[in-house]
Amino acid sequence: MLLAFAGAFSALAAPPAAKPNILLIVSDDQGYADVGVNGCRDFATPHLDSIARAGVRCASGYVSAPQCAPSRCGLLTGRHQNRFGYEFNNDSPGVGLPLGETTLADRLKAAGYATGAIGKWHLGAEEPFHPLQRGFSEFFGFLGGGHAYQPAGGRAAQANRSKLLRNREPVPHTKYLTDHFGDEAVAFVGRHGGQPWFLYLAFNAPHSPLQATPDYLARVAGITNETRRTYAAMVTALDDNVGRVLAKLRATGQEERTLIVFLSDNGGPLGNAWNGSSNAPFNGQKGDTLEGGIRVPFLAQWKGVLPAGKTFDTPVISLDLTPTFLAAAGAPAPANARLDGINLLPAWKGEAALPERALVWRFNFPPGREELYKTAIRAGDWKLVKSWERSASGQRSAGTPKLIDLSKDIREENNLSAAQPEQAAALKVRWEVWNKELKEPFDGQPRAGESRKDRKPKTKTVP
């Protein structure tokens, strides 16, 4: 649990008589500021904005990791991925979402839901980890971490050993991939109007490679920076296809019985060297436990149940979505599931406040990449964050913990550890308590300076 009682509100959220559909839309590497309701001004996202206007915008919405695969592990299990050792992207053979973990799709399928996954998987490319083995009855997408958008394919798809699949069978890549995924999502909604369904719509946009069609590029022609312009075109395509799915819900009379959540899997990787995203007003990016790496666009809509146009400021995390969706479906997880999130429905509806809790992060590193080891804990407006630092001479060190008051320092520039030593010490202890519960990453390789035979479980240093 995230230092709180997981599922504390399950009993307070009486679901409606009919089980709602659940639509979970995930973008890939989209910056916090790259949606209109979060301040985007150089291109438009009207359909994503419509989710916020018709529902709830979580201004402090987080993911459990600042990188693709571990973030998705937490999202689809409701358990902090550090508990089962999935702490960084790892495409090694035999690595995937551990088979002992129960997915959200497993739980909803058992509750009578049709389940589908469309888009990027990145949770294991071998048969035991395939979406059809992890609770999904239908799959259209690719199993790796990246894919070319244009039908020509190219090196991106080959490098990730990914093919476009329908269930397990390769299918032709015939059109711009974001549009392809939109087509499939619209078809899924149309096919399953007669029973409750769960659709995990995981666009790979706007993750690299940066590729957009002339039509989408023309709509953002006023953006002078080429990287930003291509990125904006890719998000525009994503937004258009979200709009197509929303329109299909309305046309088939399913809109008011569908709970919709949209979020990015992590913060945007910044600058021309990456995808040109923006995490304003935050510092940090994908791979960081600064706000820019873990705070993401996070929107929810359930017409007739959730209030419209509400901004929810209390911190929430992607781990909360599994208990939230299960409560909506009237199928809460058993106590021994040890979920790490909280059912958000009563708080979103204004019926109860969320309990005091700390949100915690430990982002580990592949062998030889110690500079990627980063930690954080947030309780209220206080945050303690640490990452490895590199000196001018190139020497790496574990860095200095920084105590931040987010209510006054959203860019995390002022270290208050010396001025508030008791607050820093309290957060350090809370992180330590959580850290002692965790497993080591299951990368199967030694850390830098270790031999394989020397590898043994150990508790990481505190933030």
Which of 299, 321, 349 corresponds to the end of one domain?
A: 349
Please check whether residues 306 and 402 belong to one and the same domain: no
Strand, helix or coil for residue 433: helix
Predicted confidence at residue 40, as pLDDT, reads 97
My answer on whether omega of the bond before 315 falls inside 30° of 0, hence cis, is no
What is the per-residue pLDDT for 364?
79
Q: Residue range 218-230: average pLDDT?
A: 97
Check whether residue 330 and residue 268 sit in a common domain.
Answer: yes
Q: What is the pLDDT of residue 2?
A: 54
pLDDT at 49: 98
- Judgement on whether residues 222 and 176 belong to the same structural domain of the protein: yes
User: Does 356 fall in a domain?
Assistant: no
Of 154 and 148, the one with more pLDDT: 148
Residues 205, 190: Cα–Cα separation, whole Å: 23
Average pLDDT over residues 298-321: 98
Q: Examine residue 206 and state whether it is found in any structural domain, yes or no.
A: yes
**88 — pLDDT class (breaks 50, 70, 90):** confident
Is residue 359 in some structural domain?
A: no
Structural domain that includes position 201: 10-349
Query: Same domain for 251 and 344?
Result: yes
Q: Which of 299, 326, 349 is the endpoint of a domain? A: 349
Phi, psi of 314 (to 5 degrees): -65, 135
**Do residue 306 and residue 190 come from a single domain?**
yes
What's the confidence (pLDDT) of residue 371?
Answer: 61
Exposed, middle or buried: residue 353 (CB in 10 Å: 0-12, 13-18, 19+)?
Answer: exposed
pLDDT at 63: 98
188 pLDDT exceeds 50?
yes
**Is the peptide bond prior to 172 cis by the omega test (within 30 degrees of 0)?**
no
Residue 2 covered by a domain: no
Check pLDDT > 60 for residue 453: no
Across 166-182, average pLDDT? 95
Residues 338 and 369 in one domain: no
Confidence of residue 398 (pLDDT cuts 50, 70, 90): low
Q: Is residue 322 part of a domain?
A: yes
Question: Which residue type, as a one-letter code, is found at position 46?
Answer: P
Residues 339 and 382 in one domain: no
Number of residues in the chain: 463
pLDDT at 95: 84
Give me the mean pLDDT over the 314-318 stretch: 98
Domain boundary among 315, 349, 383: 349
pLDDT digits (tens, 9 = 90+) for 21-36: 999 999 999 999 999 9
The pTM assigned to this predicted structure is 0.90
Asked if residue 100 has pLDDT above 50, the reply is yes
Query: CA torsion angle for 269, 275, 281, 287 (degrees, to 10)?
Result: 0
Whether the predicted pLDDT of 444 surpasses 70: no
> What's the mean pLDDT in 232-241?
98
Residue 121 and residue 145 in one domain: yes
- Average pLDDT for residues 313-319, to the nearest whole number? 98
The verdict on residue 289 lying in a domain is yes
What pLDDT is stored for residue 91 in this prediction?
A: 77
Please give the average per-residue pLDDT across 145-170, as a whole number: 74
CATH of the domain at 377: 3.30.1120.10
CATH number at residue 301: 3.40.720.10
In this model, does residue 366 exceed pLDDT 90?
no
Strand 382-387: give its sheet, edge to edge. 358-363, 374-379, 382-387, 402-405
Is the predicted pLDDT of residue 440 greater than 80, yes or no?
Answer: no
Region 308-322: mean pLDDT is 98
Which pLDDT score, from 0 to 100, does residue 463 have? 40
C-alpha to C-alpha distances, 413 to 285, 389, 405, 463, nearest whole angstrom: 15, 15, 10, 17
459 domain residue, yes or no: no
If you average pLDDT over every residue of the chain, what do you get? 88
Return the higher-pLDDT residue of 344 and 452: 344
User: Do 369 and 437 fall within a single domain?
Assistant: yes
**Do residues 343 and 369 both lie within one domain?**
no
The radius of gyration of the chain from alpha carbons, rounded to an integer in Å, stands at 21
Indicate whether 1 belongs to any domain: no
Counted domains in the chain: 2
Q: Are strands 374-379 and 382-387 parallel, antiparallel or unpaired?
A: antiparallel
Name the β-bridge partners of 282.
none
Q: Report the pLDDT value the prediction gives residue 90, as an integer from 0 to 100.
A: 80
Specify the pLDDT at position 181: 98
Nearest-angstrom CA–CA distance, 15 and 21: 12
Residues 78 and 156 in one domain: yes
